[in-house]
Structure 1
């Protein structure tokens, strides 16, 4: 065991899957975590290890970090060698640099953190999001989680799942929920340019889903919405469903739309750039993502901050942003009939939860609980040990 040197200032080792070439929940959380740490410790040093990002990637201009941030890219490595070289570089460099703490935002890197702790005593945290920690089969990964100094869960739901699945000291599992930039999401009328783009009228009911559409992401529930549309359009003939996002499941989705004969009421919008997200939320009359695999779901926060009714699944981390149904409509994610009936009720103005129509209240509650300033404050308490 190496003797740990005295620490004069904070030096963070951050292990992320990627943050520049893909935008998913883990990537967004990782970015907010790095920003929050740099707000709290502007004099600190930061080594950020990115497993899948490449050196020559163009960074988005809106992602600005402290000059003391050193990024290490591993996306150019041969896929077979990538895992071992990634872990080896982290461990070897940390033996000499001795970071204050190592924080991994994916459980897959917990083993490398554990090895480093065995060698140097360096404490480590692991962020637990959703599916990746709900049913861990690898015993070494389970051991690495148990030996972590902190497991940072993004939701109460994931915390409960971890406590059920793995015998971990409950005091180790703390909650640092997902966050969002409230300044980017406002309550506005339907944007005329999007009405024109999609040939819609301002009175036309619009259902919106923003999600990843990968072959491994069918748990997101967009199939169930498409099937529910058959009944919804019987009651609301001019309804339009806008499905936004990208992924390798698009060919199958397009085929499903055709087989259900929904081409005239479904629009596959593709990827939405950040600068247009708020406009899309304001375009819709209900945001629907009846998922059964969300660790949390940042999109719910964004939709609520725009004052929109939200329909989500009742069996995953979606219940956290919706305050266990207080701020939206929770449905069984596999029950197409229930999804259809609730969409009809919401769009017809007779939802059983009238709060979904109180736009300012939805926005206020969401900002109070999940704004980035709240994330900052909670992180500061976790680091200080309070």
Structure 2
């Protein structure tokens, strides 16, 4: 069986969606019924490195819109696909066309806030984009959502039956993380030696001011009397950094907040290990791999009741849930996390890489190999 997958990015991409794509594509390639997975990535930002056996990664597709369409035309002309995957809502119209051309079943993936409604889309998209997506998703055989919250919100918005959706939460490879000492050179780099550290890792995007960084900043002054050596490490880059830096100064936290900028994948675990608590009590997470990564490093986590991050901490079983609209709740949650001992929770295995791969292979069985 040959599959065609249209994705935003995967190998050579950054962030949570790229990781999910790499992981599910690798799982597909390992399915005993799958001979080849042809992948068209929309974007590649760094060297992609090797891909798993059975994955034909068409890097030429990542040269801009025209290059992607040329690559898409080439795979359509070749044909012979037994199933199609639309790796993002934006790619569903093309995925639908490919499936119709191949007379093959197909499904698409809803990653998060983009599936909650057009109000979460860039203004440049316009009504035409929504109409095209609506046309496509009504024709899909199934969809996969990273959380039940996202599945329900997408269903309500698009009028697609929720039972057509399969929830597959993000995963974490615990072997790539783990509890460990705080790296001395990083403590020196950020001036965090002897500090009690709260950490967030997220895009600092002006269009995504829902990550919970503002709420964490606003909670810190109330915690300083109890934790006089308190510091806040904000990892990530983006066009909202200047505003956040100004806010930290306005709150009198200028000497307690460190903006680390972009953190490379091979340094993420060591940055998590600098933290005594990980905080991201936002309003727009469709799931959030970073919560799992922090937990895999033994760092207590503060998540939110207002988005799907509560599912990432199993509704409070493996993390603290706070109400981002209640400042006292955020303060209390941070206090709880900072007082917790480090340690990887046993229930984190619910999000193991092995379970993730099994869940995705079951989608192949359900959609492409129906009984």
TM-score (normalizing by structure 1): 0.85
Q: 2: distance between equivalents of 1:93 and 1:234?
A: 62
Q: 1:380 aligns to what? A: 361
Pair 1:107 & 2:89 matched:
yes
After superposition, the C-alpha distances for 1:259-298 in whole angstroms (9 at most, x for unaligned) are 2231210111112222222222222111001111111100
Please identify, of 36-45 and 280-289, the stretch whose mean Cα deviation from structure 2 is larger.
36-45
Unaligned ranges ≥5, structure 1: 1-9, 350-355
The 3-state SS of whatever aligns with 2:312 is coil
Instruction: Answer whether contact 1:129 1:154 (CA < 8 A) is retained.
Output: yes
Q: Secondary structure at the match of 1:213?
A: coil
Are residues 1:163 and 2:155 paired?
yes
Partner of 2:176: 184
Residue of structure 1 equivalent to 2:115: 133
> Aligned match of 1:208 in 195, 199, 204?
199
Once the two structures are superposed, what CA deviation does each residue of 1:144-175 show, in whole Å capped at 9, x if it has no partner?
Answer: 11211120111111112123223223332012
- In 1, the alpha carbon distance for the partners of 2:206 and 2:321 equals 24
Query: Would you say 1:325 and 2:309 are equivalent positions?
Result: no
The 8 Å contact of residues 91 and 112 in structure 1, kept in 2 or not, is answered as: no
1:76 positional shift = 3.0
1:220 alignment partner, SS class: coil
Distance (whole Å) between structure 2 residues aligned to residue 242 and residue 358 of structure 1: 18
Structure 1 residue corresponding to 2:187, chosen from 173, 188, 195:
195
RMSD in angstroms over aligned alpha carbons? 2.3
Q: Say whether residues 1:12 and 2:3 are aligned partners.
A: yes
Q: Runs of 4 or more off by more than 4 Å in structure 1?
A: none
Mapping of 1:231-250 within 5 angstroms?
Answer: 231-250=222-241
Contact 2:179 2:298 in 1 (8 A): yes
1:271–1:68 CA distance, 2 compared to 1 (3 A): closer
Indicate conservation of the 8 Å contact 1:134/1:165, yes or no: yes
Given that residues 322 and 328 in structure 1 are in contact (C-alpha distance below 8 angstroms), is that contact kept between their aligned partners in structure 2?
yes
Stretch of structure 1 that moved more, 107-116 or 39-48: 39-48
**May I ask how many residue pairs the two structures share in their alignment?**
357
**Is the alpha carbon distance of 1:357 and 1:143 closer, same or farther for their aligned partners in structure 2, counting shifts above 3 Å?**
farther
Structure 2 residue runs of 5 or longer lacking an equivalent are 119-126
CA contact under 8 A between 1:18 and 1:52: conserved in structure 2?
yes
